[in-house]
Chain A
Amino acid sequence: MADDKDVLRDVWFGRIPTCFTLYQDEITEREAEPFYLLLPRMSYLTLVTDKVKKHFLKVMKAEDIEEMWFDFEGTSLKWHYPIGLLFDLHASNTALPWSITVHFKNFPKCDLLHCPSNSVIEAHFMSSIKEADALKHKSQVINDMQKKDHKQLWMGLQNDKFDQFWAMNRKLMEYPTEEGGFRYIPFRIYLTMSDRPFIQKLFRPISPDGHTHTLGDLLKEVYPVAIPNDDESKRYQVVIHGIEPLLETPLQWLSEHLSHPDNFLHISVIPAPSD
């Protein structure tokens, strides 16, 4: 388990160098300088951008400030999606730093959910964990935890405390030995070229006859288009945390090690770059 624990740390401490630029139509008292920040892949935009807000507030009048929101090349960025997912899905093959535009007006309520406070983020995060455990353990593990344990998961995420988070999260990664894995794997597959937000279905880590399901098995079942035929070149990249795991990787292993703190495997399927 020694090497696998390193994977957990690498995933947790993944960062994306980002440049925040104020939208040109925002009203400022003087020129706004861009703001640079390393964003944690496993967190949420509204949880880690207080510094961004403070920076731009310095050159703006209070009456010109409404709820802050972000876009990348015209696409509104959903704060309730993990940062790493947003990057992999929208900006994977673009040059770093990730260039995000900051807005304080004209909140696009058809695209984005409001985020009036951190408690909204906490509620969303905890709901995701509960949904994941409903799939993994019929909610037994999360329900057996006390309220203070739930709080520890949130505080670990909010304060970027790997040990504090995993002291609790490891319980959500356990399963009865005789089962060989979770009941169902919590996953979501996001597609850039589709109108539906994501694919989420019931999928077992082990087949009824004991065969260990892989990432490739999952894709074959729910989105076979992502897997190239032998004779054709790769049309799509299947990305998790900025890397393309081998399709032979066991799904159970991916779920235990490459899930986001919300316990979901967030998988992006994007067009392969044509160079």
Chain B
Amino acid sequence: MSDNAESPTETQKDEPSTPQQPTEDLGTADEKKKIDVLLKAVGDTPIMKTKKWSVEKGRTVQSLSQFISRFLKMEANEQLFIYVNQSFSPSPDQEVGVLFECFGSDGKLVLHYCKSQAWG
């Protein structure tokens, strides 16, 4: 995996940028390099203040998961589970761009996150 966001020192500059305004895209006019992600909390997991994010296609699920954990100020030993379609947990090295292509709807990828296993 060559995703630079995996290594702790580089996560700062790899933050998902522009919250809430998915149209605010700094990419080229041709192929959109970012996709819109909507984060939904499950159960009593804390709700993110900002739910809509513009994320680079090549960003991995693990990288996004780490971002959410930090945003929610979770402990190092706390786990976070991410779900697509409220049915499966994508592999940590899966790219969000691929998930968006296959499971996106209404122009965005909805991801549910939970501190405990929600859908097994």
Q: How many residues of A contact B (CB 8 A)?
A: 27
Set A134, A196, A198: member contacting B87, Cβ < 8 A: A134
6 contacts between A and B (CB under 8 A): A110-B1, A111-B1, A127-B88, A134-B87, A150-B120, A200-B98
Q: Is the CB of B87 within 8 A of A139?
A: yes
Q: Bound state CA distance, A195 and B57, in angstroms?
A: 14
Chain A residues 200-223 with CB under 8 Å of chain B are: 200-202
Q: Is A80 an interface residue (CB 8 A)?
A: yes
Q: Which residues of A contact B90 (CB under 8 A)?
A: 127, 131
Q: Is the CB of A134 within 8 A of B103?
A: yes
Question: What secondary structure prevails in chain B residues at the interface with A?
Answer: loop
Q: Bound state CA distance, A46 and B115, in angstroms?
A: 26
Q: Bound state CA distance, A126 and B87, in angstroms?
A: 11
Set A111, A131, A197, A200: member contacting B101, Cβ < 8 A: A200
Set A123, A195, A202: member contacting B89, Cβ < 8 A: A123
Q: Which residues of B contact A131 (CB under 8 A)?
A: 84, 87-88, 90
Chain A 47-61: CB-based contact to B (< 8 A → 1; otherwise 0): 000000000000000
A134 with B91, Cβ < 8 A, contacts A110-B7, A126-B120 known: no
Chain B residues 72-120 with CB under 8 Å of chain A are: 84-85, 87-93, 95, 98, 101-103, 120
Q: Bound state CA distance, A85 and B40, in angstroms?
A: 34
Q: Is A24 an interface residue (CB 8 A)?
A: no
